Amino acid sequence: MEAAFAELPLALFTTLAPMGAGAFIALALAFFTTKFTDEQLKKIDQMTLIPLVVVLVGFAASFFHLASPMHAVGVFAGISSSPLSNEILVGSLFVVLAVVYVIVALAGKLQGGARKGFAAVVALAAIVFACFTGMAYMMETIASWNSPLVIVQMLGFALVGGLPLGTLVLGLAGSLTDALKGSFKMAALVVVVVGALLAVAGFCAQVMGVNDMVNPLVSGADLVAAAMTYLVAAVICLLAAAVANIVALMGKSPVALAGVGTVLAVVGIFLARLVFYAVQLSVGLSF
């Protein structure tokens, strides 16, 4: 697990940024399924600062992975040819959209169809960002990461982590009760269940696939065995986060359980990301 802890900045980035982005998906669902009052919308917009801050903290953490923050500009030089550069570009576009959305919303300029349209664009950008975050790790030189399952799990993390955070935003704004009276409940339930399945299945399948890999320096089975405790803990937390969110959506202490689900999701995703980095196995020396 030493290799994993050496990647803490990236582990934090890939935990917080997609999860914060996923919260905007939950909010878009709410706007399309519930008619809120102007006062409710005002409070929701104020609470939307929470997922935005989560995203920004995630991006800030990624800078600590660079030897010098000034090197960040150089990342854009590889756009179209480098998966990492593409991820940063898509992530930056999402951040710009999210920031503009929050600013315009707080200014009271989003009404009716304009709000739904803008929220839908931000939600779509969040999905694309999560997928590109997974694609950034698909490289031929690292066999243990070079799998579409990495994209699957990252999208799952965004959904299973973003839904409780978005639900918490609605709860703190005093609007969750009204949202749960309509079709938001069913839509959110579907999304959080799908997110949990994608996250757990994609994560476990990708890590277990490392078992059959080996190079002259290390066995993939040894890497997986060393990370097994973290893997089990990650899966338990992710499933518990989904359950907490589901119970919250059923109206049982919704705000408190949405908060619990959010915390569990952060822990579960972070542990999963540590395991991901711990099972890194290069293909250069494999046989």
| CA 151/CA 234 separation, integer angstroms | 18
In a domain, 89, yes or no: yes
Q: What is the pLDDT of residue 63?
A: 73
In a domain, 286, yes or no: no
In a domain, 287, yes or no: no
pLDDT, residue 225, reads 92
* Domain presence at residue 76: yes
> Does residue 85 belong to any structural domain of this protein?
yes
Q: What is the pLDDT of residue 256?
A: 95
Name the residue range of residue 223's domain.
2-278
Q: Are 159 and 22 in contact (CB under 8 A)?
A: yes
Regions of the chain with pLDDT less than 50: 67, 78, 285-287
For the chain, how long is the longest CA-to-CA vector? 64
- How confident is the model at residue 64, as a pLDDT? 66
What is the number of structural domains in the chain? 1
Residue 172 resides in a domain = yes
Predicted pLDDT at 242 = 97
Q: What integer pLDDT is reported at residue 75 of this predicted model?
A: 52
Q: Tens digit of pLDDT for each residue in 211-223?
A: 888 877 788 898 9
* Alpha-carbon Rg for the chain in angstroms: 19
Query: What is d(CA 145, CA 134) in angstroms, rounded to the nearest whole number?
Result: 9
Q: What is the SS3 assignment for 57-121?
A: HHHHHHHCCCCCHHHHHHHHHHCCCCHHHHHHHHHHHHHHHHHHHHHHHHCCCCCHHHHHHHHHH
Would you state the pLDDT for residue 286?
43
Residue 285: inside a domain, yes or no?
no
For residue 284, being part of any structural domain is answered with no
CATH assignment of the domain containing 78: 1.20.1630
Instruction: Report the predicted TM-score, pTM, of the whole model to 2 decimal places.
Output: 0.90
- The pLDDT value given to residue 287: 39
**What pLDDT score does 142 carry?**
87
For the stretch 131-141, pLDDT in tens is 999 998 888 88
Cα distances (Å, whole numbers) of residue 61 to 14, 113, 156 = 10, 35, 21
Distance CA 190, CA 245 (A): 11
